[in-house]
């Protein structure tokens, strides 16, 4: 009896488990969140992998650059030098006789003409001296008129032995003395007239007159140190500039070596005003100094500049640009084609015959507009990368589009700091915008094909 309940209980438990299992089997399976997305992604990746494995990868697109053949051209080497304007003529007005100023007959700061009366001195004493000298002359002339017939009568009497030879000689001597007195009286009269004229102080030159240091009523003397006023001739006007002896030496060496040609004939000079604007009239280089200053090491150059409107005044600061020489084989490259490396050297990119890019360090001088003046590192005929260089590196094969260089006539540039392939070198000089220096081509590096 005790076994029966146990036998009955095991099937009942089994039935409960079976029912739970059956109920679980009947419940619908719920998908986890995002499972569909994960499955779709996996399938897409698998398909993409199959496609890549089955097809070759596309070739990378070839870089295209624009190149320009390097050409040589005629270039006028100019130098910018700072200087000052100097009056073409300058005269300090001083009295030549003493006296009290009665009138001032000019307006300060105005133009005056040569011979124009500027001051009137008290002339009373000089008029009296003139009248006295005039009377002395009349007296001397009267004595001569009396002595002349007397001497003639003595000569007539000598012919009949009425007088001695000594009497005739004395009469002749007296006549000569009286004539000499007339000459002395004439000189005294002329001197008195000159002194009287000096009481009217006149302008010695034409030009612009300055301020008057004396007013009417002031006493002036002929020996005084202070000038009454100053007159300066402003048209034309001088422009004096200085050039260092080192610059002059470098220029002459470049000309002697044949790297540059000297400028012949009259040298035209452009003048830039203190505000940087170009003066309307060109000047002409008049002379180059014959000695070098021992204190500054500079040599002075002087230009004559027309100044009809009197815009330039003495002492004004200006900048003179003058041509120094001619470079027949100059090379210029666009500024956009040049970069700087970490050492500050100028670098350009070239494309060789094999289509590969070459990075090269070059030497440059100053700029002319949007172009660099090359002193070393390039030669005519090479292909310079002017566009697309930032997308190409050294040794890379590129696709080339060639652009011809625009034709140039004579290019005028200012000489500046020289930057060669080994570093930079600056020569100091007086200049408003930059330190100017002669930038001759390197001797022995120029040829008919360019510079290398």
Q: For the segment 297-332, what is each residue's pLDDT rounded down to a tens digit?
A: 888 888 999 999 999 999 999 999 888 777 888 888
Is it the case that residue 363 has pLDDT exceeding 80? yes
**pLDDT at 245 (0 to 100):** 82
Is it the case that residue 424 has pLDDT exceeding 60? no
Is it the case that residue 175 has pLDDT exceeding 60? yes
Q: 346 to each of 19, 363, 386, how far by Cα in Å?
A: 90, 7, 14
Q: Which fold has domain 123-198?
A: Helix Hairpins (1.10.287)
**Span 388-406, pLDDT tens digits:** 888 888 888 888 888 876 6
Is it the case that residue 12 has pLDDT exceeding 50? no
Pick the most confident of 119-133, 141-155, 257-271.
Answer: 119-133
Is it the case that residue 337 has pLDDT exceeding 80? yes
DSSP secondary structure code for residue 313 in this structure: -
**Span 229-270, pLDDT tens digits:** 999 999 999 999 988 888 778 777 777 766 666 666 678 889
From 2.40.50.100, 1.20.120.1200, 2.60.40.1180, 2.120.10.90, which CATH number describes the 97-121+199-226 domain? 2.40.50.100
Q: Hey, how many other C-beta atoms are within 10 angstroms of the C-beta on 139? A: 13
More confident residue, 441 or 94: 94
Query: Where are the extended beta strands (E) located within 188-316?
Result: 200-202, 207-209, 219-220, 229-244, 261-262, 268-272, 283-288, 298-305
Q: Taking a C-beta distance cutoff of 8 angstroms, is the pair 83, 241 a contact? A: yes
Quick check: helix, strand or coil at residue 7? helix
**Span 36-79, pLDDT tens digits:** 545 555 545 555 554 444 455 555 667 888 988 988 888 877 78
Query: Where are the extended beta strands (E) located within 298-356?
Result: 298-305, 317-334, 339-340, 346-351
Residue whose entry in the numeric block shows the structure tokens 């100028």: 346
CA dihedral 200, 201, 206, 211 (to 10 degrees): -130
Cα 307–Cα 308–Cα 309 angle in degrees, nearest 5: 95
CA dihedral 204, 210, 216, 221 (to 10 degrees): -50
Domain boundaries, the chain: 68-77+327-451, 80-87+230-325, 97-121+199-226, 123-198
Is it true that domain 80-87+230-325 has CATH number 2.40.160.10?
A: no
Distance CA 232, CA 12 (A): 139
Strand partners, 219: 100
Q: Hey, how many other C-beta atoms are within 10 angstroms of the C-beta on 109? A: 9
**pLDDT at 117 (0 to 100):** 96
Contacts of 213 (CB under 8 A, 6+ apart): 226, 227, 228, 229
What backbone phi and psi angles, to 5 degrees, belong to 341? Answer: -90, -175
Q: 85 to each of 137, 272, 282, how far by Cα in Å?
A: 52, 12, 14
Tokens standing for 304? 């004559």
CA dihedral 352, 353, 356, 362 (to 10 degrees): 0
Contacts of 113 (CB under 8 A, 6+ apart): 203, 206
pLDDT level of residue 371 (50, 70, 90 thresholds): confident
CA dihedral 102, 108, 113, 117 (to 10 degrees): 0
Q: How far apart are the first and last CA of the chain?
A: 123
Distance CA 147, CA 155 (A): 13
Closest CA to 123 of 99, 96, 104: 99
DSSP secondary structure code for residue 110 in this structure: S
From 2.40.420.20, 3.40.50.880, 3.30.750.24, 2.130.10.10, which CATH number describes the 68-77+327-451 domain? 2.40.420.20
Give the chain's mean pLDDT: 78
**pLDDT at 162 (0 to 100):** 79
Distance CA 429, CA 298 (A): 9
């Amino acid at each position: 009896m005790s076994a029966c309940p146990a036998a009955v209980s095991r099937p009942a438990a089994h039935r409960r488990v079976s029912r739970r299992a059956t109920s679980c089997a009947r419940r619908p399976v719920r998908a986890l969140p995002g499972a569909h997305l994960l499955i779709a992604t996996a399938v897409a990746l698998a398909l993409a992998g199959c496609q890549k494995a089955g097809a070759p990868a596309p070739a990378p697109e070839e870089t295209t650059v624009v190149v320009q053949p390097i050409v040589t051209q005629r270039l006028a080497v100019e130098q910018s030098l700072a200087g000052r304007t100097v009056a073409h003529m300058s005269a300090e007005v001083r009295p030549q006789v003493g006296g009290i100023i009665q009138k001032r007959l000019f307006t300060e700061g105005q133009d005056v003409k040569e011979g124009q009366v500027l001051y009137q001195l008290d002339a009373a004493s000089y008029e009296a001296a003139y009248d006295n000298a005039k009377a002395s002359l009349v007296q001397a002339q009267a004595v001569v008129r009396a002595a002349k017939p007397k001497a003639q009568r003595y000569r007539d009497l000598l012919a009949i032995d009425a007088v001695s030879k000594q009497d005739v000689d004395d009469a002749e001597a007296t006549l000569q003395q009286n004539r000499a007195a007339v000459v002395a009286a004439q000189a005294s009269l002329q001197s008195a007239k000159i002194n009287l004229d000096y009481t009217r102080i006149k302008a010695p030159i034409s030009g612009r007159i300055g301020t008057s240091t004396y007013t009417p009523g002031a006493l002036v003397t002929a020996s005084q140190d202070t000038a009454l006023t100053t007159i300066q001739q402003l048209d034309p006007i001088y422009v004096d500039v200085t050039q260092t002896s080192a610059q002059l030496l470098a220029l002459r060496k470049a000309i002697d070596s044949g790297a540059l040609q000297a400028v012949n004939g009259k040298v035209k000079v452009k003048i830039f005003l203190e505000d940087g604007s170009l003066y309307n009239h060109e000047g002409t280089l008049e002379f180059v100094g014959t000695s070098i200053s021992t204190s500054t090491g500079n040599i002075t150059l002087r230009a004559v500049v027309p100044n009809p409107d009197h815009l330039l005044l003495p002492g004004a600061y200006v900048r003179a640009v003058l041509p120094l020489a001619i470079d027949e084989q100059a090379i210029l490259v666009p500024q956009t084609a040049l970069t700087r490396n970490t050492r500050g050297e100028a670098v350009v990119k070239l494309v060789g015959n094999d289509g590969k890019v070459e990075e090269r360090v070059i030497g440059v001088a100053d700029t002319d507009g949007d172009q660099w003046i090359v002193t070393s590192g390039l030669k005519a005929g090479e292909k310079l990368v002017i566009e697309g260089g930032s997308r190409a590196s050294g040794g890379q094969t590129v696709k080339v589009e060639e652009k011809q260089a625009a034709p140039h006539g004579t290019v005028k540039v200012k000489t500046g700091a020289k930057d060669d392939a080994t570093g930079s070198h600056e020569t100091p000089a007086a200049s408003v915008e930059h330190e100017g220096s002669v930038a001759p081509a390197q001797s022995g590096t120029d040829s008919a094909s360019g510079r290398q």
